[in-house]
Amino acid sequence: TPYPQTWREYPEIVRECAAELRSRNIEINNMDALQVMSRYDTPDTLHYVDPPYVQSTRGNRVRYAHEYDQQDHERLLVFLKTLKGK
């Protein structure tokens, strides 16, 4: 199932939770992780990064909804080295 493209397509409970978070100055982003990190990167930013494990290192073969192959991990590493945050 594709993700909703507009807020109107999300269930009411999700919209209510999002409104509550926004009222507390908490921002929700639905975009590529590298774009989010780049957008909010400062020397004071803590980036929590938890990409999917490489398939060859997993104990079980369960697939993630969004897989990362070796190239994706390498691209992520190169990108992370450019960030100002921690």
- Is pLDDT above 70 for 42? yes
Q: Mention every residue, 6+ apart, whose C-beta is less than 8 A from residue 39.
A: 29
Return the structure tokens found at 53: 């494990």
For the entire predicted model, the pTM comes to 0.66
- The amino acid occupying position 49 is V
Q: How far is CA 76 from the centre of its chain?
A: 12
**What would the pLDDT profile of 45-74 be if each residue is shown by its tens digit?**
999 999 888 878 887 777 777 788 889 999
The confidence band for 41, taking pLDDT boundaries of 50, 70 and 90, is very high
Q: Read off φ and ψ for residue 25, nearest 5 degrees.
A: 60, 30
